[in-house]
Amino acid sequence: MMVVTLTTVLVLAIDTATPAVTAGVVQLDADAVPRTLAQRVTIDAKAHGELLIPHLREALAEAGRTMADVDAIVCGSGPGPFTGLRVGMVTAAALGQALGKPVYPVPTVDAIAVEARSGHRLLVATDARRREVYWAVYDEAGSRVEGPHVDKPADLAEKLPSLDVASAAGQGAEMYADVLDRPIALAPFPSPHGLVAVAAADLLAGAEPGPMTPLYLRRPDAVVPAGRKRVTQP
């Protein structure tokens, strides 16, 4: 199989794994950092389905591009709450199929880590609701070495001494800063730049994308009933 190395890739970047509805158009050139041409980000945990497609259209229009110009799609794969996360992943998969373009899933926490990279061990924590956080740890080079997991902030705080993290990033880290007790890097949500940076090597190599598997980390709230309730006569 012949490997084709690309020099420029126009990427549509999507993430709905956090309260941020994120969409952007990013140009990726070989031997250069991703360059965001346009982006739209709205912080509203209840508006993923309503705003994602308008955000995509507005970002493309501002960048002076159309869907036909897009070479690939990158989508945050979580971890995140079921309802929000599936909006972005289903939209990305549908667009990829309609356009005949590859869709690259990347962990949302990895994209945040790219923005917050400091050369020290880093904790990324996002809001998992239910007074819990999704979290992962990155080494000095920015590689993920632990997680992602889901825990209560107090339980995570007990683990931090052994994880040896110097700072923290993500909305969850900001929400529970008093519990986690680490300096906060200002990167609460993933950016289009961060999403594309995570997948940059695969995008430029034209590599086969990984499976579109969402990182839920928790079982769904809804369960199949075990059986019918018995009805008693009055």
| Ranges of each domain in the chain | 8-108+189-205, 109-185
Mean pLDDT of 186-212: 95
Burial code (b: 16+ CB inside 10 Å, e: under 16) for 178-190 equals: ebbebebbebbbb
pLDDT score for 2: 45
Return d(Cα 13, Cα 138) in angstroms, integer: 22
Residues 109-159 pLDDT 10s: 999 999 998 889 999 999 999 899 999 999 999 999 999 999 999 999 999
Q: What CATH number labels 109-185?
A: 3.30.420.40
Specify the residue for token string 């999403």: 195
Residue type, 63: A
Q: Is the pLDDT of residue 222 over 50?
A: no
Residues 30-86 pLDDT 10s: 988 999 999 999 999 999 999 999 999 999 999 999 999 999 999 999 999 988 999
What's the whole-model pTM score? 0.90
Q: Do the domains at 8-108+189-205 and 109-185 have one common CATH topology?
A: yes
Which of the residue ranges 33-47, 197-211, 215-229 would you say has the lowest mean pLDDT?
A: 215-229
What do you get for the CA distance between the two ends of the chain, in Å? 73
pLDDT score for 144: 97
Top CATH class, 8-108+189-205: alpha beta
Return d(Cα 179, Cα 12) in angstroms, integer: 36
pLDDT score for 226: 56
Residue type, 210: G
